Structure 1
Amino acid sequence: MSYSRNHSTSSSSSSSSMAPPQSPSATSGTLHHVPPVSAFEISSSSSSSPNLLLWIGGLTDTYHSVDYVYQLASSLPQSWSLAQTNLSSAGSGWGISSLSQDVNEISSLVSHFRAQGKQKIVLMGHSTGCQDCLHYFASEDKRGDRATVDGVILQASVSDREAIAMDMDPTNLLHANSLAESWCKDGKGEHILPLNITASNFGRNPVSARRWVALSCKGGEDDYFSSDLDDETLKNTFGKIDKPLLILYGEEDEYVPKSVDRKALVNKWIPFVKGKVDEQSKELLGGASHNLNGDDQEVVDELIKRVSRFLTSI
C-alpha cells in the first residue's frame, strides 16, 4: 500500500519489511534547499541538462528508500536530470501532513527550479506521491500561483483506502474510521489517534484523525485511486489533468486487492484525462511490485525505458 507504500514498521504484507538491509552507499549531486523542504538533484553526465524530472515519494519514503530512482537518474535522456523531493511529510511526517501541504511545497520547488533555468519540468509520483500529483491538478484549494508543470507520471497509483482494508479486521476498521470521523467533527482532527488503532497498519508512526480520514474513508482527501469511484468523481480528478500523462501500474503490486482488475482500472481512468495519455499507460508494468525494490532487473529496465520514451515525447 502507500505506507511508503514501504511500510517497513508494520504488517508482514509489506515487501520492504522482508527486504535485506541496504548496503552503505553514496550519491553525488546538488541539494536544493527551499525552506522548509529540499530536493536532491542527482549528478549524471547530463547534470547541466535543461529539463527536470521531479520525483515524489510515498508515505515514509526518504532518500534511498526506493532503489530504482538512482538507476533512473543515470539513464534519462541527455536533456533531462532527476531530483528527488524531501517534503515535510517525508519519513514519519506523513501522519500529521496533508496532500494540500505537499502540493504547495512541490509548487515552491518547481518555482525554484524554473528560476534555476529548467525549461521543462515533469512530476513523477511514486505511491502516495501519485496522490500528490493528482492533487496538484485537481484540488479545490488549488492556488492561483501554483507553478505550471509540463507533464506527470504516476507510478504505483494505488488506493490507500483499499490497501488499509486489506490489512485490517473489518470491525476494527469500522471502529477506527468512526472514531477518526467523530474526532474531526468535534474539532479534534489534529489529535493523534491511539496506537492500538493505527499500529496494525502503520506501526508507531503518529497519525492524526484528519489524516486517517483522508487515507481510509471514502471521499477522503487521498481517495483518488479506489476502484469503486464513480465517473463523476473521476471527471473531477483525472479530468483536471491537462498535461501529458504516463501511468505505470504494477502487475504484481502487493497493495492492490486481488479482486481489482488492474488493467481495466487504469483504462477506466484514461478517457477522463484532458491531456495526452501515453499509449504505454494502457499496459501494466509486467512483474512490478509496488516500489520495485528486489524486482528483476528487466522490470526496472522496462520502467526506465517507458519513462525515457515519455520524456522524449514532451
Structure 2
Amino acid sequence: MAHPGTAHKYTKGLIAFEHASPPSSTSPQPHIILWIGGLTDGLLTVPYPSLIASSLPLTWSLAEVLLTSSYSGWGTGSLARDATELGECVAHFKKLRPGKKIVLMGHSTGCQDIMEYLLGKGNEAREKVDGIILQGGVSDREAWEDYYKEGERRKQLDDAIAMARELVDKGKGEEVLSPESNPVIKDMGGPLNAYRAYSLLAKGGDDDYFSSDLSDQHFRNTFGRIPDTTTVMFLLGAEDPYVPASIDRAALLERWTRIIREGGGVVNSITGGVVPGAHHNLDGDPEEVVQDLVGRVVGFVFALGLEMTWNI
C-alpha cells in the first residue's frame, strides 16, 4: 500500500516521514506531531499513526521519526543518542515552521526517548516542545521481571543483569552479548550490547523511567521537572500485556499526574488515561478501540491549538 507524504532529511542518514495532508488542507505549514516508535519499530511499522494523520484537523500533520535506534538498532543504542537525534529533528521543524506548535508522541520506548529529551543530559540546549503524548509508556524492567518471575527463570534474569553490569563496570558496555550466554539475552533479540541490556533490565538503568515501584521522590526528579510550557497526556492500554496484572494502571497514571501537577506542570486528564480494550500498539485491536485512541489524540491537539489548559 502506498503512503503519500514527504521525507524530511533532518540530519545525515535519518529522515522523518510526514504523512500527506488531506487535499483540502489550506495550511501549507501545519503544526506537527512527531511520532517516535518503540524497540524494533521503524517507519510505518505501527498502524495507528497513519490513522491519526488522516484524522487530524487541517492545521496539524504527523511525521514518523526514524532514529539510528529504529528497527534492529535499538540493542546497541541508548536513550541519550535517541534524544540527541530527536533534538535535531525538532530543530529541523522549528526552523522549517517558525511559530508552529510541536508535539512529541511516543509509543513504548519512544516514551522513554521523550522523557530523556525533556530531562536528560543536555536538555537545556534542546528546543522546547508544546506537548507530549506518552502512549504505552511501560517499564521494560517490570515486564521482564513478570515474565521471568519464578525459580530458575528468575535466576536467569538475575544472572543476565549481573553479567551485563560486570561488563559495564569494566568499561566494556559496548560489547555485544552472545544470545547463547543466557536465555534472557536470547529472548531479548539482538544484536544487544551489555550497556543496553543493563539499561533495560536493571532497576535504576537509564531506561527505567516508568516502573511502578519507584518512589515518589524519584518521580519528582523526573515527572516533577516537566516544564509547565509542555502539556502532558498519558495513554495506556487496559489490555497492554507488558504491564503486570498486579499493577493498577489508572492509579499509576493518577500518581504520575499528581506529581507533575505538584511540580507545576500541566496534564490533560480529560482525553488522557487508560484506553479500554487497547493492547500495546493496538495492532489487531477492534476498530472502535483504535478510533478511541485516535479521538483522544485529536482532542489533545485541538485543545492545544486553542491554548486550553486541562490541569483539572
1:68-123 C-alpha deviation (Å, 9 max, x unpaired): 11011100122100000000000000011000100110110011011111510000
- Counterpart among 280, 298, 305 of residue 290 in structure 1: 280
| Aligned mates of 1:123, 1:240 — CA distance in 2 | 17
Residue 304 of structure 1: SS of its match in structure 2?
helix
CA contact (8 A) 1:267 1:282 kept: no
| Aligned mates of 2:187, 2:31 — CA distance in 1 | 38
1:167, CA displacement in angstroms?
2.7
1:162 aligns with 2:142: yes
Mapping of 1:1-314 within 5 angstroms?
A: 25-33=1-9, 34-45=11-22, 46=25, 48-117=28-97, 119-139=100-120, 141-168=121-148, 169-196=153-180, 197=182, 198-203=184-189, 205-242=190-227, 243-273=230-260, 274-280=264-270, 283-314=273-304
| Aligned mates of 2:265, 2:57 — CA distance in 1 | 22
CA contact (8 A) 1:49 1:78 kept: no
CA contact (8 A) 1:53 1:81 kept: yes
1:194-253 C-alpha deviation (Å, 9 max, x unpaired): 2022444323x1111111111100000000111100011100111121210110011000
| Aligned mates of 1:218, 1:308 — CA distance in 2 | 35
Residue 280 of structure 1: SS of its match in structure 2?
coil
Residue 144 of structure 1: SS of its match in structure 2?
helix
In structure 2, the CA distance between the partners of 1:44 and 1:50, relative to structure 1 (3 Å rule), is closer
- Structure-2 residue corresponding to 1:19: none
| Aligned mates of 2:259, 2:133 — CA distance in 1 | 16
CA contact (8 A) 1:192 1:207 kept: yes
| Aligned mates of 1:292, 1:94 — CA distance in 2 | 21
1:36, CA displacement in angstroms?
3.5
Q: Highest relative contact order (Cα 8 Å, sep 6+), 1 or 2?
A: 1
Normalising by structure 2, report the TM-score.
Answer: 0.89
Residue 83 of structure 2: SS of its match in structure 1?
helix
| Aligned mates of 2:272, 2:39 — CA distance in 1 | 26
Q: Over aligned residue pairs, what C-alpha RMSD do you find? A: 1.4
* Structure 1 runs of 4+ with >6 Å offset: none
1:282, CA displacement in angstroms?
5.9
